[in-house]
Amino acid sequence: MLGSAKEILENFSKQIPEIVLGPERVSYISDNIENLNPEDKLMLHKLANKILSLMIERTASDVEIGGHGNNAFIWFRVFGKKERVKDLPQFTTDETTTLILSLLTSNQRKMLLKDRNIDFSYSFYYEKGKKDVRFRADAYFDLDSLALNMRSIAVSVMPIEALEFHPYAMKSMSHNYVKFGLTLVTGITGSGKSTTLDSVIGYHNKFDPAHVVIIASPIEYVHQSEACIIRHREVGRDVPSFKDGVVQSLRQDPDIIVIGEMRDPETILAALEVTDTGHKVFSTLHTSSAVESIDRIIAEVNPVEQERVRNRLADVLTTVISQKLVESLDGKRILAKEVLVVTPSVKAAIKNNNTSEIYGMITQGGPQGMITMEQDLIRLYKKRKISSENALAYSNNKTRMLQLLKAIG
pLDDT, tens digit (0-9, with 9 covering 90-100), for 275-326: 999 999 999 999 999 999 999 999 999 999 999 999 999 999 999 999 999 9
Whether residues 174 and 134 fall in one domain: no
Count of domains observed in the chain: 2
First to last CA, the chain: 57
The pLDDT-based confidence of 130 (bands split at 50, 70, 90) is confident
Task: Look at residues 153, 174, 200 and tell me which one is the last residue of a structural domain.
Answer: 153
Closest CA to 173 of 337, 310, 295: 337
Whether residues 85 and 164 fall in one domain: no
Q: What is the extent of the structural domain holding 63? A: 2-153
pLDDT at 129: 86
Stretch 220-244: mean pLDDT, rounded? Answer: 93
Whether residues 61 and 44 fall in one domain: yes
> Rounded to whole angstroms, how far apart are CA atoms 323 and 332?
16
Task: Look at residues 107, 133, 153 and tell me which one is the last residue of a structural domain.
Answer: 153
Q: Do β-strands 181-186 and 317-327 pair in parallel, antiparallel, or remain unpaired?
A: parallel
pLDDT at 63: 97
Stretch 332-361: mean pLDDT, rounded? Answer: 96
Sequence-distant (6+) residues with CB within 8 A of 385 are 328, 329, 334
Task: Look at residues 153, 173, 204 and tell me which one is the last residue of a structural domain.
Answer: 153
Whether residues 360 and 223 fall in one domain: yes
- CA angle (31 as vertex; 9, 234 as ends), nearest 5: 95
pTM reported for the whole predicted model: 0.83
Stretch 197-203: mean pLDDT, rounded? Answer: 97
Segment among 19-33, 49-63, 379-393 with least mean pLDDT:
19-33
> Rounded to whole angstroms, how far apart are CA atoms 247 and 23?
37
> Rounded to whole angstroms, how far apart are CA atoms 227 and 246?
23
Whether residues 140 and 261 fall in one domain: no
Whether residues 129 and 175 fall in one domain: no
Whether residues 93 and 183 fall in one domain: no
